[in-house]
Each structure stands twice: as structure tokens, then as C-alpha cells.
Amino acid sequence: MRHTLPIAPQFYVTAPQACPYLDGRLERKLFTALQGEHAQRLNDMLSKQGFRRSQNVLYRPSCAECSACLSARIRVADFRPNRTQKRLLRRNGDLVRNATSPWATEDQYALFRRYLDQRHADGGMADMDIFEFAAMIEETPIRSRVIEYSRPNGMARRLTAVSLTDVFDDGLSMVYSFYDPDLVNSSLGTFLILDHVEIAREAGLPYVYLGYWVPGSRKMGYKANFDALEIYKGGEWREVGNPEDHTAELHPLSVAPIAEQVARISLPEARPAPE
């Protein structure tokens, strides 16, 4: 006889802390460990339900009175770059892409530090040292890649941008990216997303996951500029439509109780045991 049992991870909730996206609000996260032989399948399934990976943890926002954070993804087959994005692709046409294993280097960390110091000096990663950076890159229990972008620099190449990217069964997830902060006119953050759409198209993967889009947040608002954008809202993926139709209002009934949220999460089944 064969038995098939569900994978049953334990879920936890973080203590409230200041929201990094909307002033005056508190954030709280629902999370679970990502480990063991079922890590890839668990990551694939929970990512389709609005979860994100940070090293060996999967999480999604679960704030007490706010549901502003919406997981976003681009539908690759229907995506068409707009005029500005086409110019951006041409402007960065000299960048050379190199996909490698998730292994941290000193060049990556030097670029990462410059990026943080100029763009996010007051952020949660501002004090990250090289060992913590290496952990962010290398501690992954699933299929991940570091995608580096370099520009010609004499006889050598200069590291210009980096993306830590997870590979799902249905797409690519941009876990974290950083780039040369001095190249403002190159709009490298947007370029990385455009290039990931192309990578996913070449690989036959239908989606590029962008993390969270937050209405009312200038920091996260740029994600609404991409064509064929879907958001995870009300337990399903849907077209974003007019971004102005989505608000970041506070309401005590906007978020279901934690126990109800966990009960609604779909989990993969373990593979049948051999006879």
C-alpha cells in the first residue's frame, strides 16, 4: 500500500514593526521555514499564493489592519515594452549577461555596498557585512541563480548590476537586485526586469515575479509601469487594471485572522512512499 501525506510546515507571525513602505504604519509577516527535500515544491506553490523567499524563509505580509502589499508578476507571453522601455533596452545594449551559481564575490559586495550607501542608507540592510551578504546570496535551498551584468572597461569588464533570481516551475522570481548607483540615466532597475522577461521567454517560463507592489508607495510604485501585470488579491491572480483603483486604506476587516489565513493556504502533497 502507498500513502500520500500532505507537506505540513509550521507557520509563524512576526512582531509588528515600522512599515518600510508606508509612513506611520506597522508591518507584520506570516512566515515558514523553507528546508528539507520538499523545499522546491513548497516554494513553487506558496509563491503562487503571494509568498516571497528570504534565504531559507518564505513570508508574506499579514498586517493587522492593512492589505496594501500586493504580490505582482508579469505575464511574459503578453508583455510588450513601451516606448520608454524600448529606449532603455537600446541604451543598455552593451551590457553582457552572465548567469552563475549562487556564490558571493568581493566584486558583488563592493557594488552592493555602493548601492546601499547611495540609495538605501537608512534601510534595513544598511549595516549588512560581507558575511551576511554571502548568506543572502548562498543560503538557498532551492534552484537559484546570480545573474551578473557587466560593461566593457578597457580590456576587462566592469560589474554593473546583479540580480539574485529564483527559478520556479512557472517563472523567475527576482529575489533581490542591485546596481551601479551612479548610472542614474541607465535606469538599471527597470532594465533588469525587462531582461528577466526576455530570459523567461527564452526558457519558456510564463511569469516573472517582481515581489510586492504597494499602492501609495513611491518606492514600489514603478512596478505598475509594466505591461501585462497581474497582482495577487483576494486569493487569486488578476489583472492590475488601473493602478489608481487600488488603495492603501486601513480597515480592521481588511485582513483575515491568522488561523483563517493559514487554513486557506494550499500545500503540495508529499510524493507517495514506495511499496
The answer to whether residue 147 is domain-embedded is yes
Q: How many domains does the chain have?
A: 2
Query: Residue 195 and residue 254: Cα distance in Å, rounded?
Result: 35
- The phi, psi pair for 101, rounded to 5°, reads -65, 160
The answer to whether residue 269 is domain-embedded is no
Clarify whether residues 156 and 198 are in a common domain: yes
The answer to whether residue 5 is domain-embedded is no
Show the domain range for 215: 72-241
Clarify whether residues 35 and 109 are in a common domain: no
Clarify whether residues 43 and 81 are in a common domain: no
The answer to whether residue 149 is domain-embedded is yes
Clarify whether residues 100 and 206 are in a common domain: yes
Clarify whether residues 107 and 170 are in a common domain: yes
The dihedral over CA atoms of 41, 43, 44, 46, expressed in degrees to the nearest 10, equals: 120
Clarify whether residues 76 and 189 are in a common domain: yes
Query: Residue 120 and residue 12: Cα distance in Å, rounded?
Result: 28
Clarify whether residues 89 and 62 are in a common domain: no
Q: Three-state SS for 147?
A: strand
CATH label of the domain that carries residue 155: 3.40.630.30
The answer to whether residue 273 is domain-embedded is no
Clarify whether residues 165 and 192 are in a common domain: yes
pLDDT, tens digit (0-9, with 9 covering 90-100), for 91-141: 999 999 999 999 999 999 999 999 999 887 677 787 899 999 999 999 999
- The phi, psi pair for 110, rounded to 5°, reads -60, -45
Clarify whether residues 177 and 79 are in a common domain: yes
Per-residue pLDDT of the chain (275 residues; tens, 9 = 90+): 444 445 678 999 999 999 988 888 999 999 999 988 899 999 999 999 999 999 999 999 999 888 889 999 999 999 999 999 999 999 999 999 999 999 999 999 999 999 999 887 677 787 899 999 999 999 999 999 999 999 987 666 899 999 999 999 999 999 999 999 999 889 999 999 999 999 999 999 999 999 999 988 877 778 999 999 999 998 999 999 888 888 877 777 778 889 999 999 999 886 654 55
Beta bridge pairs of residue 74: 208, 229
Predicted model pTM: 0.91
Clarify whether residues 124 and 39 are in a common domain: no
Clarify whether residues 153 and 176 are in a common domain: yes
